[in-house]
Amino acid sequence: MNELDPTVHVDVEWREIFKFIGYGFFAIFIWVIKKFGEDHLLSMKELAVELKEMRKELNVLATRVTAVEIRTEKFRSDEP
């Protein structure tokens, strides 16, 4: 009586199947990143540091340009 009847249909929602497949792909993706992505991860960190430095330099330049624009406007307003 405790045996499973092979003719019984098990209703599985497609959403559950897609979720299972998605988790599988995610696990494979994480494994690939860990296996092959360490060098790329280091280069991405270096790139992020360089981009932060460039952003600081651009902010300094933007501040200088703003100061020059303010001086120019002041000079123009002082003209007779």
What is the chain's pLDDT, residue by residue, as a tens digit (80 residues)? 456 666 655 566 777 888 888 899 999 888 888 877 777 777 778 888 999 999 999 888 888 888 887 777 777 776 66
Say if pTM beats, i.e. exceeds, 0.75.
Answer: no
Residue 12: predicted pLDDT? 64
| b/e sequence 50-66, b meaning 16+ C-beta within 10 Å | eeeeeeeeeeeeeeeee
Encoding tokens for residue 60?
């300094």
What is the C-alpha separation between 31 and 36, in angstroms, rounded? Answer: 8
In this structure, is residue 6 part of a structural domain? Answer: no
Domain presence at residue 53: yes
For residue 69, give its domain range.
Answer: 14-78
Q: Is residue 1 part of a domain?
A: no
Residue 4 lies in a domain: no
